[in-house]
Structure 1
Amino acid sequence: MSYRGRGRGGYNNNNGNRGGFSQQNVDQFAAANSVPVEILGWNNATQEECISFIARKTKISVMNASVDQQTGILRGYVRTAAVADELTQWSGVKFAGQSLKITKAIAVNSISGQMGLGVATNTNNSKAPNTIETITTFLKSRYNPESKLLNLSAVDRDPQLQQEGFFASISTTSKFFPALMKIADELKLEVDSVDVSGNNLKDLTSISTLAQTFPLLKNLALSNNNITNIRTFELWKRKLNFLRELVVMNNPLVSNLRSANEVDNIKLEMMKNFPRLVVLNGEIVRDENKLLSLVSFPFATQGMFFQDETIQQVSTNFITNFFNLWDTNRQELMILYQQESQFSMQVDSSHPHVIEIESGPSTNSRSFSSYNNSNNNNDSPFGYYIPHSRNLTKVSSVKSKMARLAVGQQNIFKMFSQLPKTRHDLLSNPNLFSLESYSYPQLGGILLTLHGYFEETAIPDDNSAVTNPSSSGGNNRNRFQKNNNKKIPLGKKSFDRTFVIIPGPNGSMIVASDLLTVRLFADADAWNTPTPTPVVQAGVPSQQVPTNVPAAVPNASIPAVPAAAPGAPTPNDLPPDVKANLNDLQQQILVRVLVDTKLNFQFAIMLCEQSQWDYQQCINNFKQSVATLPPTAYM
């Protein structure tokens, strides 16, 4: 066989392209193996300048970019859905005098593939855009933006969908709803309520993706279906955490109930699956005010940031429970750590300011560096921390670096035991703390950072790192032996603590990484203005946290406190730091609440504040909540 005339190298001379691959083929291949994004607001510059700016700013490459001449939308592709999600978080960044709007585009190939059209391998893909347009038109016709209602009732009887053959076979029927949710997600519909009535559903399998598309859903109607088993709702357990109202009327599940016990069992199981459920089939099953008081985070300050309401709920629950145990019983925290979990702490020695130490007004101001460079560990207020400090700018030995990284439950608890006992006033002084929480998609978890202060209340349970420095595992051997009988001062410290928490078994959370930084005490001006104004975070009721309680609650507005029995505690028995923030009448109320409820200080003060320092209201609220309070709430 002669190869003459077939082009250089023996390849087929197909319009000058080797192997028959054209630029169109390359673009189609790239589109089929990446995620499309769309960019608006770039018009004050060129397409190339915009793509270059995004690469510099976000470290993300947008490939195969092109401009739709009719709409002016710049469309390109990124490698994965995770990268696309990360890029959309930069939406709003300023470029050439305008704010860029970056969104994920509707992926023709992926959605068509879900519908079984085979577009990725079929050269004739004319049906794919028509399919997407049909579903998009259907969604828009069923969506009410004013009420934020998406009506998906009786979708199999929609004339246009029937004409397109979406329900012609079991295969296409089963793929329709996931494709519907995919497009709904791409359209960024704001949905509070969904009606899925009259679809002949026997279980939730075919509509399971509803929880992923609308995790903040508040109202759901599933009436006039064929659901028979209460266990089918376990599919959405801990997924629709903000569902307030559920309707399941005219399903065998409720139509066949024979006794009051069966009705109560249905209510109980629904409340287990949906923690914020208030109304079931038109009947109130929970006290909504009480529920909000239990699930709402008491922080309403400027220093709080939550990426979304789901992350807010998980992170605030985690923080309040974690630091309650950190201050009272660190052994119980070990259930949150696994053998691969890591903990390390460091003393921040880079603070440039001269800050007054908390041992009293007569104490001379000293810089942080002067303490850090002291020849005696006991001269420093950080004496309990320095033996464990893994500050990599100070610790050069590889052996010391590894020795000061605690891995696994046993090593982590050992280090916990060698740190001073503390108190974090998270609930009583939330404006002195700042909390940030973001999703951590690499591990499917949450990255959470808390800034604030704590007060040291006692020396560590295990003080061997100070009295016997060689036991800490670092290079402190014999360095501080001379004066190890001196008492290290206790006081206030500022701190930063960063957690990476990931989902564990049975809906629990596991701490994958825990990093603590300890600094000299500083105020909260970084996130508070001199006259702080409460900022309402998504899903958090607006609360004004009193910074000056006596002024905020006049004596005249508080009812008289019942007389105490002879020999009962008096306000004089309260700790000085508690008395300093309360007027005389509030001190009396707090003492009576402590005696009558047996709550500890933390929960008693929180109860008084939420009851507006009304003694009778305190008792009423306590009686309503007593069944749900944890054992740690009591003295």
Structure 2
Amino acid sequence: MLSNPPPRGPRGSSPQVRGRGRGGVQKRRTDGAGARVDRDGDLVMDAAATTADKPRSGSGRGKLSPGRTGRSQGGPVSRSGGRGNHVSDRAKQNIIRGLGGSQANVLESRITGGGPKLQVSGLKDSKAAKNPDGGLEALLSFLERKATGLDPKSNRTVKIKKSSMVGDSVFITASPDDMATILKLNSFNFAGAILKIRALDAAGKESEASASTSEVKDQLRGVLAARYDAGLKLLNLSSLIADPGLNSMGMFNGSTNTSKIFPALMIVCDELFKSRREKREAITSVTLTDNGLAKVDEVHILAEMFPDIKNIDLSRNRLTDLSSLDGWKKKFRSMEHLILVGNPIEAQLATLKDEIMKRYPKLHMLNNVQVRTPEEVAIKVAADEAARNPFPILGPSFQDVGGVGANFVTQFFALYDTNRTSFLGQFYDAHSKFSLAINMTAPRSTEVSVPVQPWSEYTKHSRNLLKINHLNARMNRQYKGVQDIQAVWATLPATRHPDLHTQGDKYMIECCTVPGLPDLTGQAAHGVDGLMITIHGEFEDQAPNNAEKSLRSFTRNFVLGPGAPGGPQIRVVSDMLSLRGWAPLPHPASSQPPPPQSTLTPEQEVLRRQQAIATQLTEKTGMTLEYSAMCLNETGWDLEKAFAAFTANKAALPAEAWVGGIPR
């Protein structure tokens, strides 16, 4: 054991930071400690003497194991926020707080005041929680390393000064800059668990800021209520500077700029709805007239909060050319009517009309003039969809054998939602395998408005091989046997699949035969035949910590084979479940070419079938087609009887009966 923690520096930083040395070969140090450099990269001669004797107080990290490496037990991680949500919850809070003019006070309370801290949750759910110290050491190292690596251009090393574990949370203290950097690690994956990090301010300041924020929100709700027309589904945001409610709040103070108040209005308005569907049904039109807008960038948040708006009025602003609309270039894909009356750009609409129509594929009214009919819009949308999918989508192929596949699918939908234990007992055995994987990056159409709910109930079992690089995790997340599978299924949220008989259009089910499956009886050395069933569809689930049901899309791949003696007659060899955010299934091509019509006479049809049967017997026995036809003719063209007759008389056949004159 090392008597003191090794110095923090390039050696302990992330790979991006480690790789930025000065390019020369460094001489190996004999004392086992890495060289320390200052902010400019110069060698600190007395670094060990000045830092080694200063352990981090309260952290409980006085000693480190010699075998410790620069990688966390959680393995490679990635941000989970994604680029789609441009306005984070923290940014929303800051916008609202800033309206009251108290933003400086709020920030000051985090730097001074009664000891700002960060609260980190999620450690108890990680694999590191099994460590002797509860995983605290691994967590703190992970936070320092990942936070340091966020900015590869900086030589600054993030350090945690103090830490303490209270219940399920870890509280840490660092410099204001380091705390701001560590906050960016919110939602990172650590040892199989998602970390939740939030700032804790001094109690008094936090309560004061919270009360101020609540008051501002109440006032903004009143402004929005006065400007909303439920009958027209219209939100009137015109001439905000003249609004008496906003002026009484002191929002402008002589300024004519709406860029400060508009984001706050949109955030408060967004909080009034529980889902994107509710927003789409409540607001279809927005008026932004007389706001002095030179670019729509000043109100870009409207596209993020309400992307499904159909009608927008931008009359009497200062929009000069097409670039003034670039902030909405790939937004509002459902817009049907755009009004630009009273803007300098109006004089250019004759030449810009085609480009505007390209930006908004469903637009059919521009400045109250029809630019294309709804039928033309439908053709345009269909053409765009066809361009994204140049090949027609064929319907599913279901090549069942003896009704085995159909019976299994029926039982699956009947039992998985209601009695998973019974379903396991009927089709799974000690050799069955199950795994699930979450595809968080599955592409979705811009038309899809169903939000993607959190995956927290599934992530600890996810075996996405593109994300999980550790061999142990890959092996441990493939579950084998009824007991292990049942234990996993018991932790998954309850589900409800659409009814197969009344809502069959929500599924695509395929079935085909597969050879070479293991023969558990040991009689077939080359394996036995089975079935592969693939189900694409959707289901609803409701996790305990989710207020509303989640709609998800899935693909489930089953491989079925003959059961072992004493087990189920048909067993599941493999069961792989893939989950992704909900999206509607693509519909098969509606027009399929008609099947070719036979031009053969009935006599020719009989002859064709007989030739096919004779060919099968030849392939099976090695006899010539002539002798195969003779054998079949004597047995009534029954292939099984013909093969039995061949077996009984095989030794008496002349050489000319065999293909090439060589008996098999």
TM-score bucket of the superposed structures, by smaller chain = 0.3 to 0.5
Which has more radius of gyration?
2
When normalised by structure 1's length, the TM-score is: 0.35
When normalised by structure 2's length, the TM-score is: 0.34
